[in-house]
Homo-oligomer: A and B are copies of this chain.
């Protein structure tokens, strides 16, 4: 038996942890708890957590272990960025059947390490246990510098413009393609849409930049554009009018929609899981963002598309 066929049940809990720590080394890891570095003066700690369960959030025939690890970190770091904060650390809980190949766990750890390194953050601790379904639990820790308010859901104000950084509706399009064709069957030119699902990306520091340039409210597009903007509308007691021209399906999405014979607007309005940052600001569009609409009323009438009710208003839920 070669080492590639070894399972975590065969090497045991301690050796599995050792393998993860070898892939994602950190001097802060390995004690009862991790002590983070001395924080910048006048900064606050920000924390968020997400569970990813096999069959619900990812499938191993669609995503590589590396992609699963990268996505798990990305979606947590997006929540940190969405407060206007900077991700500094993550911890990883892994529950997996004893029959899971060591290679799979090492691959996930590599993906985690790749993503935390991209953000100049660190995997500082974790836990490994048996279980029925491969499950990842990530908690991300961020640092919110300065005394300015964090970018909360309740601070959108009439007159502001709505801005977005990143693709909208790519993840849902990718999921639809994978569901129909499987990973190997998706036409090559549509790979960016598949990547939107298996390995979404977010340029580090966009949340910090938006906060520094006067944005007041931010979230990430995780449950669907209309749902997430609707949450802002409800919490801030405003109405948000999205401009269809700014979020219209691009060439790739149109080709995928044509291939699958579906309306690409369902992906854009209802898809979610893109982890695009959505913000409101009374100032210039922050670097890396684009305008997608405006905040129009001091009373919560939800989300409009070009002034009318959008065709899709529901989004992604796990059950």
Contact = CB atoms under 8 A, between A and B. Distances in A.
B56 A46 contact: no
Contact of A93 (B39, B50, B142): B50
Contacts of A98: 319
A133 interface: yes
A152 B33 CA distance: 9
Copies in the complex: 2
Chain A interface residue count: which class?
35 or more
Interface string A192-229: 00000000000000000000000000111000000000
B48 A91 contact: yes
B83 A31 contact: yes
A87 B31 CA distance: 16
B319 A49 contact: no
A39 B32 contact: no
Contacts of A50: 93, 127
Interface in A231-255: none
A39 B152 CA distance: 20
Q: Which 8 A-B pairs have the closest CB atoms?
A: A33-B48, A137-B137, A139-B139, A130-B319, A32-B82, A49-B91, A32-B79, A129-B318
11 contacts: A12-B319, A13-B319, A14-B317, A32-B83, A33-B140, A35-B150, A50-B93, A51-B127, A56-B130, A95-B135, A130-B319
